[in-house]
Amino acid sequence: MEVNLQNAVDHGLNKDEFNKICDLLKRTPNLTELGIFSAMWNEHCSYKSSKIHLKKLNTKGKKVIQGPGENAGIIDIEDDDAIVFKIESHNHPSFIEPYQGAATGVGGIMRDVFTMGARPIANLNSIHFGSTQNPKTKNLLRGVVKGIGGYGNCMGIPTIAGQTNFDESYNGNILVNAMTLGLVNKNKIFYSKAVGVNKPVIYVGSKTGRDGIHGASMASAIFDDKIEEKKPTVQVGDPFTEKLLLEACLELMAGKSIISIQDMGAAGLTSSSIEMASKGNLGIELNLNKVPCREEKMTPYEIMLSESQERMLIILENGKEEEAKKIFDKWNLDFAVIGKTTDTKKIELFFDEIRVAQIPINILAENAPIYDRKFKKTKLPQKIKFNKDDLKKFKLTDVLKKILSSPNISSKEWIWEQYDQTVMGDTVEKPGSDSGIVRIHGSTKAVATSVDSSAIYCYAHPLTGGKQVVCENWRNLISCGSKPIAITNCLNFGNPEKEENMGEFVECVEGINEASKFLDYPVVSGNVSFYNETKDKGIKPTPTIGGVGLVTDYKKIITMDLKNINNLILVVGKTEGHIEQSIFARNILNEKKGPPPEINLFNEKNNGETILKLINEKLIKSTHDVSLGGIITAVSKMAIKGKKGFKLIKPKVLTSKFHYYFGEDQGRYIIEIEPNNLPKVQKILKENSVHYDEIGIVTKNEVIVDKEPILHIDDLTKSNKTWLIDYMSK
């Protein structure tokens, strides 16, 4: 078939890109070659709209072993231990086919981690759905949760943390971001860089089928009315095969056979082979007749672009083929020598003894298009003046119950109860806390981890929102007593060809970078998901941050549940009463305008480090960061988890009680301390110039706020825990 411009457009390439391909090749590509270009030059694989901005991110740190550019980032957690971690999106597939889309997203991120020699020890997820009034939301939520749980549970990897949000901007594009942590000996890390000429290229895992063809290209496209036609582009996962693949790969890695290894993820055999060769400045030759296929008469085009799951590409030392084959035979997995490395610096494909493709590697990788797209910055919105008389008609406790039962604040137990949280026996803190915590088996160490996003703040002012989401993640790790080390990011945005959307991306990245640098919280891996848009309507900018921190002794972690009656409750950090863009403003006052809360990075760092000092001095009984819903929501969640009540009295400050209790000022923590420790706590806070308010005490089961009617903790618990159960049961 003779390839023309229309073929290129159908593959997601524009006129200029097609002409560039013809110029670089000095000829017109054939269909297989066009498919390869389409895969490697799409947004999902090439990062052509984001690369120049991602290069500005802070990626270095004392604990960083591997930053961006590999399958996953790696950090040092002392001794000989390292943590491998990354977050990835599987948004488009999950909207089209929620169960398989979410399941294969989990499978893919786990392969990225164990490809580097690490055994996965924990999964997390960040999932965003449309309005609860949208008729599709309930089924999408049910399918995604089943997919995440189905794959992770079968693999035997605990899901220890996550977040779920609802917003109408996700009606046409849900977000499914999956994150995995793995443990590896830092002297036994594997990389994807090919080394050496005439080294055997090995295909292992499942057979190749026609599922997932054009999956990467679909992830770089806008949805329209023909979305149902894209179902064949969604990959089909088999967690039981992936479990076998994990064990077989780790067994082979225990020897000295592997030179490099790469997961066949987005763009399948195409991206894995080209990326390995590109990193090693080598060529690669593949005989596609030797690729194990589960369907008859597959063409070179289909073989190269298939995104069938549970597959790896390995480059071995010469003479190690039989040794490797025995391992994969033992685990009942396909094993085939399908090619070799070369010194040609080209990818050469053969099928039926005919060369069906020949492309210089640098054209596909280093010389892929890079766009410096135009963008518009977002002005900081003006502050809103709220009418005091409008606030007087509300009862604080009624508002509190309404907020606790709102979709984005309510308990997500219905979700996480479907995940295996304790398999492997090392989970220290399960979902529902500031951070999930898993111990390092055989030691006192543990790692804390959390995922966070804040689309509302980012939409209001992307620069501030970018800073906030990093700080929120930092506080979640601080709250349990861990030392934050590094982050991964999944940057979910609309069409980058629109100046407004591109501006949101650029400013969010700038905000993430500012906070990352100031907090010494480097970015070590990540993913960009553009074109989250349906019928010209895009999502709110949603950068998701996944963080990892070190706990030196897991027996000394601090949890958020209130502990003992008559203990004191303090707010650490200054409260100004910022309610613009808050849950209170949006859900109670129906006000969606105004700026997000200001981010003071000095205070964030200083307050967080001071909290760690208090924890290390054993002066804190429980703690929880203040985020959505403000002070009273944070205290309520602590009370619900601890099955205790509380009595709060607003300090004599200028702001109203609604501003004080529901304001979402940043950099704050709620701490519970014993009364006799108050002088010691005050001393440390004053020495570090940290503002604090004494606001109440822990009670047996009464909830008392200023002069409001007395509630029972059961009232708050019911408000918080029943909404999602009721919603999903209707």
- Beta strands 283-287 and 346-351 are parallel
Structure tokens at 162: 């996550």
What is the DSSP secondary-structure string of 551-599?
ES-GGG---SS--STT-EEEEES------TTSHIIIIIS----SPPPP-
The residue among 490, 402, 612, 359 whose CA lies nearest residue 73 is 490
* Cα angle for residues 340, 343, 344 (degrees, 5° grid): 100
Structure tokens at 44: 């999902």
Which is the catalytic residue, given 11, 53, 90, 578?
90
**Interatomic CA distance for residues 162 and 415, integer angstroms:** 10
Element (H, E) at 646: strand 645-648
Type of residue numbered 705: V
Which is the catalytic residue, given 44, 53, 214, 624?
44
* Cα angle for residues 521, 77, 543 (degrees, 5° grid): 35
Q: What are phi and psi of 177, to 5 degrees?
A: -110, 125
3-state secondary structure (DSSP) of residue 235: coil
Type of residue numbered 521: Y
The residue among 79, 72, 73 whose CA lies nearest residue 61 is 73
Structure tokens at 46: 């090439």
**Interatomic CA distance for residues 511 and 243, integer angstroms:** 39
Q: What are phi and psi of 585, to 5 degrees?
A: -65, -45
Task: Provide the residue count of the chain.
Answer: 730
Beta bridge partners of 526: 489
User: Among all chains, which residue has been given the structure tokens 């604090």?
Assistant: 692
Structure tokens at 278: 């590109």
Q: Is 712 a catalytic residue?
A: no
Eight-class DSSP state of 120: E
3-state secondary structure (DSSP) of residue 405: coil
**Interatomic CA distance for residues 196 and 89, integer angstroms:** 33
**Interatomic CA distance for residues 251 and 253, integer angstroms:** 5
Contact predicate 81/441, CB 8 Å: no
Q: Is 659 a catalytic residue?
A: no
User: Among all chains, which residue has been given the structure tokens 């292992």?
Assistant: 204
- Annotated catalytic residues are 44, 90
